[in-house]
Structure 1
């Protein structure tokens, strides 16, 4: 699953639009006016020069009775999962936000492209939870799984291989790849099945080698895989 790129924009806020949430991170920085929010039942007022990080699933509503102009970052970058809700480096973030807003208005693409990364860097430091966690070598794990596609693999097989609990591995898989452990395995099964079929391997033999119980089930899954 390919995640959409981070997007920076400048938006004007007025009347409330109703309570909602996002499946991505949203960073708000007030350039002018005051933006009033209610996030998970708690009131927050963002005066000019203040910012707030909203995480995926945070229910929120907002309004600016006198109008407000904000720099907005919409991103799936998991770096933000480990950053504070309010900026630690407020002065640097404020100066950067003003620069990025001007760059957007003047269509300076380089600043806009680098903006999401720079904003994360000026926002604060990653928590120890992030810094101390065990890295996953996804390429190595993919090779390990690819050698065992004919076997009935389950999520705990993969989590044991990378020395994590199953729950930790499931969370990391969703966070870093965008899908579940078994979707990860399925992608590898179907990619290998496609290679085998392209090389002239029969459907029955390909199904056996990649762990499908029947050629028809594999063929139907391949059809959906090709069109996705």
Structure 2
């Protein structure tokens, strides 16, 4: 299977509220205006020169009341889990150049841009050397997640295996082929199917699974089936 390509681009944000998550890292660098972002329950303002790394599977809300322009990188590179929360000062100049390269459709700059951005964000001297990764017992983690009930969070899962949420997201993508949120959702839906097979009503299964109504549960099951 060919490697998934990182995608670099420039996006304009407006006053309309948005909310989503995605299965890859998303790196945002402000070029103009102010983007209001809520990530993992914390508010953040991305003005010119500010940056943010959104981990895979992390739902985030965003809006720009007076408009905002950002360089956006959608990346499947796991090294983004190891960078600092804010970009190094030199990153802004590179971001402006890459934004111009995207606008002018310069293929070489767009191809090399993701790697250059990662290097500029946290220079090699600031990145700790990669250590051997401790194996995750996914079956045991799944059992623990389900035993904790429907409100177990990704942060709690990560703490259980001594990782940050971003590190767990990268490991889940590499080892399970999906985001942490989707892995947890699939576990809960599989458990819901077992409860239904045992004769529980749809309403009771929805309550136990943490869905607000039977229709919300059936809608989630339809989405999971594609």
Q: Same fold (TM over 0.5)?
A: yes
* Contact kept? 1:11, 1:69, Cα under 8 Å: yes
CA distance in 2, matches of 1:98, 1:43: 25
Inter-CA distance 17–121: structure 2 relative to 1 (3 Å threshold) = same
- Specify the structure having the higher radius of gyration (Cα): 1
Residue 60 (structure 2) aligns with: 60
Q: Does 1:94 align with 2:92?
A: yes
Q: Alignment RMSD, CA only?
A: 2.6
In structure 2, C-alpha distance between the alignment counterparts of 1:124 and 1:21, rounded to whole Å: 24
Aligned to 2:131: 133
- Corresponding residue for residue 113 of structure 1: 111
- Separation in 1, partners of 2:15, 2:136: 45
Task: Please tell me whether the aligned partners of residues 39 and 58 of structure 2 are also in contact (alpha carbons under 8 angstroms).
Answer: yes
**Could you state the TM-score of these two structures normalised by the residue count of structure 1?**
0.57
- TM-superposed CA distance for 1:73, in Å, is 0.2
Mapped contact 2:19–2:59 kept (Cα < 8 A): yes
- Write out per-residue CA displacement over residues 31-61 of structure 1, whole angstroms, 9 at most, x where no aligned residue: 1111111111111011112111111122211
Unmatched runs of 5 consecutive residues or more in structure 1: 136-163, 181-228
In the TM superposition, residue 167 of structure 1 has moved relative to its aligned partner by 3.1
Question: Number of aligned pairs?
Answer: 147
Contact 1:27/1:52 (8 A) holds in 2 = yes
2:137 corresponds, among 137, 144, 167, to: 167
Task: Provide the rounded CA distance (Å) in 2 between the counterparts of 1:173 and 1:54.
Answer: 15
Task: State the match for 1:79 in structure 2.
Answer: 79
TM-score, normalisation: structure 2? 0.58
Q: Conserved in 2, the CA contact under 8 Å of 1:54 and 1:85? A: no
Gaps of 5+ in 2: 142-167, 179-226
The answer to whether the Cα contact below 8 Å between 2:35 and 2:62 also exists between their aligned partners in 1 is yes
Deviations 1:123-154 (A, max 9, x none): 015653xx24128xxxxxxxxxxxxxxxxxxx
Contact 2:25/2:56, CA 8 A, preserved across alignment: yes
Residues 43 and 166 of structure 1: CA distance in aligned 2, closer, same or farther (over 3 Å):
closer
